[in-house]
Amino acid sequence: MGAGGEGALFLQINRNKKCITLDPMKAEGQEVLRRLVARADVVVANLPPQTLRAMKLDYETLKAIKSDIILTTATAFGDPGRGRIGLASMGSGKSCRVRST
């Protein structure tokens, strides 16, 4: 348990990360995203293409902000076009690849 009450898994997964929370569907969140993308080299997303378009995080929108941006997508269940989204830990759990320590 961390000093702030964080659990061990949270501390393991989020070690050395800086985090923010924003709503990309609101104008304020989109402005923050534009500023972040303008300074980024790579955007990593685990959402289906239609959701990225709705959030204005699709490649064409990102490229308009920064012409050499790299967008990479990965989902826990493979092809995002099939509509199944999740985190890697969910995919591991469903495939019985989870280990206990």
Q: Which residues contact 84 (CB under 8 A, 6 or more apart)?
A: 75, 76, 77, 78
pLDDT tens string for the chain (101 positions)? 777 788 888 888 888 888 888 999 999 999 999 999 999 999 998 888 888 999 999 999 999 999 999 999 876 666 655 656 665 555 555 555 555 55
pTM over 0.85: no
Q: Are 64 and 29 in contact (CB under 8 A)?
A: no
Structural tokens at position 93: 């759990």
Q: What's the Cα-to-Cα distance from 36 to each of 33, 41, 69, 70, rounded to whole Å?
A: 5, 10, 11, 13
